[in-house]
């Protein structure tokens, strides 16, 4: 190959590296934006478990972006997206297919929901946060108990460390 060929190949490689670096930067920026948005919703007063008038429960939690995720005890789930009217529409599971469910929330002090036409009330829990040291690592935990002084069975959940805190995104730890 002649020197001109080396220069062209070198410029092409630099251009490809630059394009790859820009794509990586854009992907990281998007991921950070989603994480920030999800973190913003992590403390949202709508997040929690609601007892519906039909006797079932629905859990509302934070998820990626400016969305909420609902989960039922039978394993069904969906993503909620807020509409211009303040109501929320649902998509099925992890698809983007609308499932026809509509959800609305009262103001935070009332703690009420209407989930797919069924009214409900947020279940109140006593929540105690804790942090402790273990093997030189700072660990965090949460004790979630029903209100009252009655004896209740307990479950200890040990969750691995991922990008997001299980205390905010794992249904059974809210």
Mean pLDDT, the chain cut into blocks of 10 residues (174 residues total):
48 45 39 41 81 96 88 95 95 95 95 97 88 83 85 78 58 56
Taking every pair of C-alpha atoms in the chain, what is the biggest distance, in angstroms? 85
User: If DSSP codes are grouped into helix, strand and coil, which group holds residue 110?
Assistant: coil
pLDDT at 139: 79
pLDDT at 49: 92
Is the CB of residue 81 less than 8 Å from the CB of residue 59?
no
pLDDT at 84: 93
Within 13 Å of residue 72, how many CA atoms lie on the same side as its CB?
13
Q: What is the dihedral of CA 81, 84, 87, 91, to 10 degrees?
A: -30
Rounded Cα distance between 102 and 117, Å, is: 7
């Amino acid at each position: 190959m002649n020197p001109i060929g080396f220069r062209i190949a070198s410029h092409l490689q630099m251009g490809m590296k630059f394009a790859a670096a820009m794509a990586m930067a854009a992907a990281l920026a998007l991921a950070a934006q989603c994480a920030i948005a999800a973190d913003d919703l992590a403390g949202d007063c709508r997040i929690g478990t609601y007892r519906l008038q039909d006797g079932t429960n629905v859990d509302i939690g934070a998820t990626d972006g400016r969305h909420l995720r609902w989960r039922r005890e039978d394993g069904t789930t969906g993503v909620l997206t807020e509409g211009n009217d303040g109501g929320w529409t649902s998509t099925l599971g992890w698809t983007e297919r609308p499932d026809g469910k509509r959800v609305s929330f009262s103001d935070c002090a009332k703690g009420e929901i209407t989930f797919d036409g069924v009214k409900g009330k947020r279940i109140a829990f006593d929540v105690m946060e804790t942090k402790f040291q273990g093997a030189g690592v700072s660990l965090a935990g949460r004790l979630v108990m029903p209100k009252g002084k009655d004896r209740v069975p307990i479950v200890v959940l040990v969750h691995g460390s991922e990008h997001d805190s299980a205390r905010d995104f794992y249904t059974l730890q809210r």
